[in-house]
Structure 1
Amino acid sequence: MLTTESSSHYNNLEKMSVKAILEGINSEDNTVPQAVAKALPQIEKLVTATVERMKKGGRLFYIGAGTSGRLGILDASECPPTFGVGFDLVIGLIAGGDTAIRKAVEFAEDDKEQAVKDLDAYHINEHDVVIGIAASGTTPYVIGGVKQMRARGILTGCITCNQNSPLAAEVEYPVEVPVGAEFLTGSTRMKAGTAQKLVLNMISTTVMIQLGRVKGNKMVDMQLSNHKLIDRGIRMVMSELGVDKDKAKQLIEEHGSIRAAIESRMHEQ
C-alpha cells in the first residue's frame, strides 16, 4: 500500500476534543520539514537543471491534479508579482482545466493523454521544463504528461510523497518527500500538500534568484500593484540608497520600478 494511503496514527477522531485534534495535526505537521530536508539533494539537482534551461529561454511548467495541481498554479501565479516576470514564464496546469481550481472535475486526473494536449497548447519545446506534482505518484494525467515530454527531450522532474512511485520512474529528476500517514487517513491535502508547497517555494525562489530577479535579499523586481507593495518598495530604495522617503518615492515614480530606481542612482554616483 502507498505510504500516502497508510492508516493514521490516531483513531476515533470524532471523539477527540478540539484541543486534542489541533495538537495531533500540529504534531504531524512538525515532521514535514524534516522530510523535506532529506530531499534537498534531489531538489538541488532539479533546480540546477531547471536554471540551465531557463537561462536559455526556457519556461517552467507545473502539471498536477486536485490539491497538487492547485499548489502548482498557486506557485506559478505568485512569480509575476513577486519577481516581475511575465505570466508566461512559470505556468501551472491542472487536470480538468481552470474549472478544477475551485471545483473538482470528476475523473479528469485519470486521462493520461490530456496533460500533453494542455502542454501543447503552449507550444512547449526542448528548452522548457515540466515538473509533475502528485502526492501519490500514481496520477495518470501527470504520469502521461511527463512521460511524453521526456520522450521529446524536454527536461522533466516531479514532486511526490511516496518512494519508488510510477511517476518518479518516468522523470529525470524526481523529488520524493515521504511524509508518512496523514492525521486524517489519505487526506494528502494535509502533510503531503504542505511538503509540496515547501518544495515549490524552494524551486521557484531559488530559480528566480539564480535568474537575477533578486538583489541582496530584496524583491527589487516585484510589481507595485497596491499601497502595501508601494510602501515596501519605497523602504527598499531608502535602505539601498540612503535617501529619505520623498526622494525614494520620486525615484520610483521617475523610473517605474524599484530596480531601475536603485540602479539609476547608483550610476549617477
Structure 2
Amino acid sequence: MNNVEERGHLLTEQVNPNSQNLDQLSALELVDLFNKEDEKTLIAIASSRIQLAEAIDKTAKSLAQGGRLFYVGAGTSGRLGVLDAAECPPTFCTPPELVQGIIAGGAGALVRSSEDLEDQAEDGAEAIAHRQITELDVIVGIAAGGTTPFVHGAIAAARGRGATTIFMTCVPVEQVKIEVDVDIRLLVGPEIIAGSTRLKAGTVTKMALNILSTGVMVQLGKVYGNRMVDVAVTNRKLHDRALRMLQDLTSLSREEAGFLLERSGRQVKLALLMYWTGLDKVEGASLLSQNHGNLRVAVEKVLGVRG
C-alpha cells in the first residue's frame, strides 16, 4: 500500500455512524459519546488476550537471555512506544537500554508533527541496523492503521536478523497482512473523528503497551506480590513509596524502615531480602544476582519456604 487511495478501506479510516452529527453536540453529549465509544477499547483488549500473553512470554524469555525490547512507530504510535519505554527505568529500575522506543523522525518527532517521515521503509530498516539488533532482541511494530512503511521496514529488517517480531495494529488481518511472530489486532472500530487514530486507537494501544511491559517486568521478577520492589528511589515521592512498602511488608516503624533502606543502598528489594533472611548487603546482592533478581525465589533459597 503506497498511496492514500489504497488506504480508504481500512477500519481506522472509516466514518463512524455514531458521530456523524459531532459538530452539533453539546459538550456533555460529546463527553457521553466519547465514553460510549471508549468502551470498545476494553472489548478489543479482551479479544487480544491470547496474543498479548504470547507477546509477554516471548519478550520475557528474550530479555532474560540478555535481549532488549524495542518499540517502533511513527506519529502517535511512535510517541506511545517512546513513552512506555521511558517509564520502565523509574518504575522497574531497568537500565535505559533494556527497553527503547524508536520513532520516525527521531526525538524531534516527539513534539512536532513528522508524518512525512513515516513513509520511508528504508529508514525503519536503518534504525534496526543502527541498533545492531540480534536474535535475542524483540521488536514491537506499532501502527494503528497497519500500513506505516517505517514500521514495516523495521519489522522486515528485524526478521532478517532473527529477532522476535510483534505487530500491534487496529485493523483486521484481512486488511493488512504481515509476517511476524505475534500479531496483535486491537479492533476498536472507526474513530469519532474519521481517521484520527490518536483517539480510541491511541487509547487501546497505550493499554496494550501497559499490559505488555508490566507483564514482562513481572515475569522478570521486578514485582513482589503487587509491589513495585524494584522502584528507583530518586525523589521524595518514590522515597516515601519505598518506606511505605517496607513498613507494609515488615513489622518495622517508618524510622526503622528508613535505616534499613539506607543500609541496602536505597534498594527496596535488597532491603526486604536482608530483613527476611538476615543476610548483609553484599550477601543479599549476590543472592539476588544468582537468582536473576527474583526476590521470592531468593527468599525461598534461604528459608526453604515460599516467600
Q: Same fold (TM over 0.5)?
A: yes
**1:49 paired residue number:** 58
| Match 2:14 to one of 2, 6, 18 | 6
**1:229 paired residue number:** 238
**5 Å matches for 1:107-126?**
107-126=116-135
- Tell me the distance in 2 between the aligned counterparts of 1:205 and 1:121: 27
Matched, 1:37 2:40: no
| Match 2:268 to one of 230, 243, 258 | 258
Dislocated runs of 4+, deviation >3 Å? 165-168
Is contact 1:6–1:181 with CA below 8 Å preserved after alignment? Answer: yes
**5 Å matches for 1:1-269?**
1-8=9-16, 9-164=18-173, 168-256=177-265, 257-268=267-278
Change (3 A) 1:77 1:167: farther
- Tell me the distance in 2 between the aligned counterparts of 1:170 and 1:135: 17
TM superposition shift of 1:165: 6.0
- Structure 2: stretches of 5+ with no match in the other structure: 1-8, 280-307
- Tell me the distance in 2 between the aligned counterparts of 1:54 and 1:168: 27
The one-letter code sitting in structure 1 at the alignment partner of 2:91 is T
TM superposition shift of 1:122: 2.0
- Tell me the distance in 1 between the aligned counterparts of 2:171 and 2:194: 15
TM superposition shift of 1:157: 0.5
In the superposition, the TM-score normalised over structure 1's length comes to: 0.97
TM superposition shift of 1:46: 1.6
The one-letter code sitting in structure 1 at the alignment partner of 2:14 is S
Change (3 A) 1:139 1:19: same
In the superposition, the TM-score normalised over structure 2's length comes to: 0.85
Q: CA RMSD in A?
A: 1.3
- Tell me the distance in 1 between the aligned counterparts of 2:57 and 2:271: 31
DSSP 3-state at the match of 2:226: coil
TM superposition shift of 1:253: 1.4
Moved more, 159-168 or 103-112: 159-168
Is contact 1:238–1:248 with CA below 8 Å preserved after alignment? Answer: yes
Change (3 A) 1:48 1:40: same
Instruction: Render the CA deviation track for 1:188-212: whole Å, top value 9, x for unaligned.
Output: 1010011101110110000001011
- Tell me the distance in 2 between the aligned counterparts of 1:167 and 1:235: 48
TM superposition shift of 1:30: 1.2
Residue identity (%): 41
- Structure 1: stretches of 5+ with no match in the other structure: none
TM superposition shift of 1:166: 7.1
Count matched residues: 269
Bigger relative contact order (CA 8 A; separation at least 6)? 1
The one-letter code sitting in structure 2 at the alignment partner of 1:109 is E
Change (3 A) 1:154 1:167: farther
- Tell me the distance in 1 between the aligned counterparts of 2:104 and 2:177: 19
The one-letter code sitting in structure 2 at the alignment partner of 1:266 is W
DSSP 3-state at the match of 1:30: helix
Change (3 A) 1:167 1:131: farther
Is contact 1:47–1:207 with CA below 8 Å preserved after alignment? Answer: yes
Change (3 A) 1:123 1:138: same
Change (3 A) 1:64 1:122: same
Moved more, 114-123 or 154-163: 114-123
Larger Rg: 2
TM superposition shift of 1:116: 2.0
DSSP 3-state at the match of 2:233: coil
- Tell me the distance in 2 between the aligned counterparts of 1:189 and 1:242: 47
TM superposition shift of 1:184: 1.2
